[in-house]
Amino acid sequence: MTQLLDTSSSSIARAAECLRAGGLVAFPTETVYGLGAHALDAGAVRRLFEAKGRPANDPLIVHVASADEVRGLIMRMPPNAEALAARFWPGPLTLVLQKSPRVPAEVTAGLDTVAIRMPAHPVARALLETAQIPVAAPSANLFSRPSPTRAAHVLQDLEGRIDLVIDGGPTMVGVESTVLDLTSDLPVVLRPGAVTLEMLREIVPEVRGRVEGDPGKAGAYPSPGLMSKHYSPRAPMTLFTGRRDAVVDALVKRARQAAADGRRVGVLVMREDVDGFGDFPVRLAEMGTSADLAAVASRLYAAMRELDAAGVDVIFARDIDSEDGLGQAIRDRLHRAASEIVRL
Ligand code: TXA
Ligand code: MG
């Protein structure tokens, strides 16, 4: 049985005790809900992989309460890591560093590096401070499903497979943390997130973006977990990318045709595009306006799950036209979720 807890201090204390004893606890962070296990307990980490159905070659992020705790998990803290941590922690930035032998190979999928982040969410912080252990936590979804941004999403995927879920309400950011590798010659962003390339370059000017151009389909990723098919709704999703008017026209046409063919159609839709969908049966999941990318990011995964829950057969979505700021992170998730990309 999986128990749902509130955020009272007695609940936090119980969840912390469960983690210390090797249990699995889902908790809110500012990005998405994480599924935590004691990072120095190899058995607990193995159970975590099992509960998610996650392949063992996809390494986990270790969450800490303080910068001091990091020292015990890595070989050395490079100066640029100090500066980035001082600026962005606690917050949605994960740093990949040379790992200490204390960190079990299960956590890092056998790599000699470890990903570390200090979350900003008050519930995550209270849990980590109370548990006084580093906590390995991937997103609390079944493997390849959209990341959970509410406690109910966690239960949809993991009910009966984990011990506890702390319900801290909807998460704020909605897409996972920025992952920055500091172990290669030049720092490189492995996964875009709310801490943008521009923000990172203010502190470390030589930071490189992961791939130029299409974020979803570029060859091999340097990180084994960054396979392109990921974060997907159950129904196959077609993403339309290119000039907005052409994209909206083509999307509406395809959706109308699919509906005429008797398919249940879902659309991840921007508020400004809603009017195009008046005259045929379609299930719309609104993501807000593309003028407010923070709102779109916070709605993205919940909207995918809504369409799945509505039982649609196919999903259509339009790409974000902006590469700035959060636009990159949203584009990255949309491209990875898509099983077909139509370029216009
Ligand atoms: O916002 C987040 O980061 C959330 C919350 C719960 O903190 N966590 C999260 O974890 O998204 P997960 O496991 O879904 O994604 C971790 C990513 C994967 O893409 C993985 O490949 C990468 O971090 N990663 C972990 N360790 C790594 C390492 N040593 N080297 C390179 N990439 C690594
Ligand atoms: Mg994940």
pLDDT, tens digit, for every residue of 184-206? Answer: 989 999 999 999 999 999 999 99
C-alpha 180/C-alpha 135 separation (Å) is 19
- For residue range 74-99, list pLDDT tens digits in order: 999 999 999 999 999 999 999 999 99
Q: How many CA atoms does the CB half-sphere of 30 hold within 13 Å?
A: 21
C-alpha 317/C-alpha 270 separation (Å) is 9
H/E segment holding residue 12: helix 9-20
- Please tell me the distance between residue 22's alpha carbon and the centre of ligand 2 in angstroms: 21
- At 220 the pLDDT is 34
Judged by DSSP in three states, 94 sits in: strand
Does residue 138 register a pLDDT over 70?
Answer: yes
Do residues 301 and 149 lie in contact, with contact meaning Cβ atoms separated by under 8 Å?
yes
Q: Identify the residues whose C-beta falls under 6 Å from ligand 1.
A: 29, 31-32, 34, 58-61, 92, 94, 96, 108, 111, 113-115, 117, 119, 137-139, 176-177, 179, 181, 190-191, 223, 225-226
Judged by DSSP in three states, 42 sits in: helix
In this structure, are strands 283-286 and 340-343 parallel, antiparallel, or unpaired? unpaired
Q: DSSP secondary-structure letter at 234?
A: S
- For residue range 240-283, list pLDDT tens digits in order: 999 999 999 999 999 999 999 999 999 999 999 999 998 999 99
